[in-house]
Amino acid sequence: MKKYFVTVNGNKYEVEVEEVQGETKSQLINNETAVIKEAPKAPKVEKEPVKAQNKSAISTEGEKIESPMPGTILKVNVSEGATFKKGDVLFILEAMKMENEIMAPRDGSVAQVVVAKGVSVNTGDVLAVIK
Protein backbone atom coordinates (compact mmCIF):
# COMPACT_ATOMS: atom_id res chain seq x y z
CA MET A 1 0.00 0.00 0.00
CA LYS A 2 1.40 3.41 -0.96
CA LYS A 3 0.42 6.76 0.53
CA TYR A 4 0.05 9.88 -1.58
CA PHE A 5 -1.06 13.42 -0.87
CA VAL A 6 -3.40 14.91 -3.47
CA THR A 7 -4.56 18.52 -3.63
CA VAL A 8 -7.97 19.11 -5.20
CA ASN A 9 -9.44 22.63 -5.37
CA GLY A 10 -7.05 23.77 -2.63
CA ASN A 11 -7.98 20.90 -0.30
CA LYS A 12 -5.21 18.44 0.60
CA TYR A 13 -6.17 14.74 0.80
CA GLU A 14 -4.18 11.72 1.92
CA VAL A 15 -4.70 8.80 -0.42
CA GLU A 16 -3.66 5.18 0.02
CA VAL A 17 -3.29 3.13 -3.14
CA GLU A 18 -3.16 -0.63 -3.15
CA GLU A 19 -1.62 -2.53 -6.05
CA VAL A 20 -3.87 -5.35 -7.24
CA GLN A 21 -3.49 -8.01 -9.90
CA GLY A 22 -5.97 -8.63 -12.72
CA GLU A 23 -8.66 -6.42 -14.18
CA THR A 24 -9.48 -4.09 -11.31
CA LYS A 25 -9.77 -0.36 -10.71
CA SER A 26 -9.42 1.57 -7.49
CA GLN A 27 -11.40 4.65 -6.61
CA LEU A 28 -11.33 7.03 -3.64
CA ILE A 29 -14.71 7.10 -1.89
CA ASN A 30 -15.04 9.18 1.30
CA ASN A 31 -11.26 9.23 1.79
CA GLU A 32 -11.09 5.42 1.56
CA THR A 33 -9.82 3.31 -1.30
CA ALA A 34 -12.43 1.10 -2.87
CA VAL A 35 -11.33 -1.68 -5.21
CA ILE A 36 -13.71 -2.19 -8.07
CA LYS A 37 -13.42 -5.46 -9.94
CA GLU A 38 -14.58 -5.53 -13.52
CA ALA A 39 -16.56 -8.43 -14.87
CA PRO A 40 -14.59 -10.59 -17.27
CA LYS A 41 -15.10 -9.55 -20.86
CA ALA A 42 -16.87 -11.99 -23.13
CA PRO A 43 -14.76 -13.15 -26.05
CA LYS A 44 -15.61 -11.46 -29.33
CA VAL A 45 -17.27 -13.72 -31.84
CA GLU A 46 -16.73 -12.61 -35.41
CA LYS A 47 -19.94 -12.97 -37.37
CA GLU A 48 -19.39 -13.67 -41.02
CA PRO A 49 -21.65 -11.40 -43.09
CA VAL A 50 -24.39 -13.08 -45.08
CA LYS A 51 -23.73 -12.67 -48.79
CA ALA A 52 -25.98 -12.74 -51.82
CA GLN A 53 -26.08 -15.82 -54.06
CA ASN A 54 -23.45 -16.38 -56.70
CA LYS A 55 -24.35 -14.35 -59.82
CA SER A 56 -23.84 -17.37 -62.09
CA ALA A 57 -26.65 -19.20 -60.23
CA ILE A 58 -29.22 -16.52 -61.17
CA SER A 59 -31.79 -17.58 -63.75
CA THR A 60 -31.44 -15.75 -67.07
CA GLU A 61 -35.10 -16.21 -68.02
CA GLY A 62 -37.56 -13.62 -66.79
CA GLU A 63 -37.44 -10.06 -65.47
CA LYS A 64 -34.90 -9.31 -62.76
CA ILE A 65 -35.97 -7.33 -59.69
CA GLU A 66 -32.88 -5.35 -58.66
CA SER A 67 -32.01 -3.44 -55.50
CA PRO A 68 -32.45 0.31 -56.05
CA MET A 69 -29.88 1.14 -53.35
CA PRO A 70 -27.39 -0.51 -50.99
CA GLY A 71 -28.84 -1.93 -47.78
CA THR A 72 -29.89 -5.04 -45.87
CA ILE A 73 -32.85 -7.28 -46.66
CA LEU A 74 -35.14 -7.20 -43.61
CA LYS A 75 -37.99 -9.30 -44.99
CA VAL A 76 -38.67 -11.57 -47.95
CA ASN A 77 -42.42 -11.71 -48.63
CA VAL A 78 -42.32 -14.14 -51.59
CA SER A 79 -41.08 -17.62 -52.35
CA GLU A 80 -40.37 -19.42 -55.61
CA GLY A 81 -43.57 -20.22 -57.48
CA ALA A 82 -45.66 -17.63 -55.58
CA THR A 83 -47.94 -15.36 -57.59
CA PHE A 84 -48.34 -11.65 -56.95
CA LYS A 85 -50.19 -8.57 -58.22
CA LYS A 86 -48.72 -5.28 -59.40
CA GLY A 87 -47.79 -3.19 -56.34
CA ASP A 88 -47.47 -6.12 -53.90
CA VAL A 89 -44.49 -5.76 -51.55
CA LEU A 90 -41.90 -8.40 -52.48
CA PHE A 91 -39.05 -7.33 -50.16
CA ILE A 92 -38.35 -4.88 -47.34
CA LEU A 93 -34.92 -3.28 -47.71
CA GLU A 94 -33.31 -1.30 -44.87
CA ALA A 95 -31.13 1.54 -46.11
CA MET A 96 -29.90 4.45 -43.96
CA LYS A 97 -32.11 3.33 -41.02
CA MET A 98 -35.24 3.46 -43.19
CA GLU A 99 -37.39 0.58 -44.38
CA ASN A 100 -38.00 0.64 -48.14
CA GLU A 101 -40.62 -1.50 -49.85
CA ILE A 102 -39.57 -3.22 -53.07
CA MET A 103 -42.84 -3.65 -54.98
CA ALA A 104 -43.84 -5.81 -57.91
CA PRO A 105 -43.76 -3.84 -61.18
CA ARG A 106 -46.52 -6.00 -62.71
CA ASP A 107 -48.65 -9.11 -62.13
CA GLY A 108 -46.72 -12.37 -62.32
CA SER A 109 -45.05 -15.21 -60.45
CA VAL A 110 -41.67 -15.69 -58.82
CA ALA A 111 -39.24 -17.79 -60.86
CA GLN A 112 -36.34 -17.46 -58.40
CA VAL A 113 -35.64 -15.72 -55.09
CA VAL A 114 -31.95 -14.78 -55.02
CA VAL A 115 -31.60 -13.17 -51.56
CA ALA A 116 -32.54 -14.12 -48.01
CA LYS A 117 -33.32 -12.17 -44.85
CA GLY A 118 -30.21 -10.48 -43.44
CA VAL A 119 -28.30 -10.33 -46.73
CA SER A 120 -26.44 -7.11 -47.56
CA VAL A 121 -27.03 -5.93 -51.12
CA ASN A 122 -25.61 -3.20 -53.34
CA THR A 123 -27.32 -1.08 -55.94
CA GLY A 124 -28.23 -3.26 -58.93
CA ASP A 125 -27.94 -6.60 -57.13
CA VAL A 126 -30.63 -9.04 -58.25
CA LEU A 127 -33.19 -9.79 -55.52
CA ALA A 128 -35.50 -12.04 -57.52
CA VAL A 129 -36.42 -13.14 -61.02
CA ILE A 130 -40.10 -12.93 -62.01
CA LYS A 131 -42.06 -14.19 -65.01
Residue 42 CA, distance from chain mean position:
18
Mean pLDDT of the chain: 80
Where in the chain are the domains?
A: 2-37, 55-130
3-state secondary structure (DSSP) of residue 67: coil
Domain spanning 55-130, CATH architecture? Beta Barrel (2.40)
| Range from 13-22, 49-58, 60-69, 70-79 carrying the lowest mean pLDDT | 49-58
Mind listing the pLDDT tens digit for each residue in 73-127? 999 999 999 999 999 999 999 998 899 999 999 999 999 999 999 999 999 999 9
3-state secondary structure (DSSP) of residue 4: strand
What is the pairing mode between strands 71-76 and 108-113?
A: unpaired
